[in-house]
Structure 1
Amino acid sequence: MASTLEFVTYVTDQLNGAGTITFKRMFGEYGLYCDQLFFGTICNDQLFIKITPDVEKWMPECPKAPPYEGAKDCFLIEDLDDREKLGAIVRMTCEHLPKPKPKKIK
């Protein structure tokens, strides 16, 4: 079951406190970016965020699951109503992810 654009829009609105949130359609689902840094996906109308040590320490009870078959486990974020907590999760995650390399100009 593919995710609905309505769900993706709701999630990105909820995450706006973390930075500039954008999404890109990928393999029939959606990739999520904060300030151009890929941090998670939306698959089957569920939010998945990459696992980082600080978030894991802060939320040890958070369920983990792969967003699609063959993928690495990610945090499965089930409570989408707490904007402040969602923003904190995304900011903490992005602090520990490698920054995108600048694109080469030809």
Structure 2
Amino acid sequence: MATDQTFVDFILSQLKLVGDVSAKKMFGEYGVYANGKLFGLVCDNKLFIKPTSAGRAFIGEVVEAPPYEGAKPSFLIEDRIEDRQWLSELVRLTVEELPEPKAKKEKKK
């Protein structure tokens, strides 16, 4: 089951407090970015956040699941998805801990 655009829009609206948040369609699902860093995926109308130490400490009792077959487990966020403040703080902590994205190489002409 592919993700509905309505669900992606809901997630983005929940994360307005984070700042520059966007979603890119990837293989029928969505990658979610904050300030240029990929921090999560939206797959099958579920939100998955990359695991970090800060995120794990913040969540407490973590539920992990792979967003798609063959993927590494991520934090599955279901119970508190409606809590804008909590979700935004989780994303802020996660993005802070993630490395900066690698610079893209220029294409040769």
1:39 matches 2:39: yes
1:43-91 CA distance string (max 9 Å, x none): 0000000000011112221211000010011010112111111110000
Q: Which residue of 2 aligns with 1:14?
A: 14
Q: TM-score, normalised by structure 1?
A: 0.93
Q: TM-score, normalised by structure 2?
A: 0.91
Q: Which residue of 1 aligns with 2:100?
A: 99
Code of the residue aligned with 1:80 in structure 2: it is I
Q: Distance in 2 between matches of 1:71 and 1:101?
A: 21
- Contiguous gaps of at least 5 residues in structure 2: none
CA RMSD of aligned residues (A): 1.2
Identity over aligned pairs, percent:
47
Q: Distance in 2 between matches of 1:35 and 1:59?
A: 22
Q: Which residue of 2 aligns with 1:75?
A: 75
DSSP-derived class of the 1:72 partner: coil
Count of aligned residue pairs for this structure pair: 106
- Contiguous gaps of at least 5 residues in structure 1: none
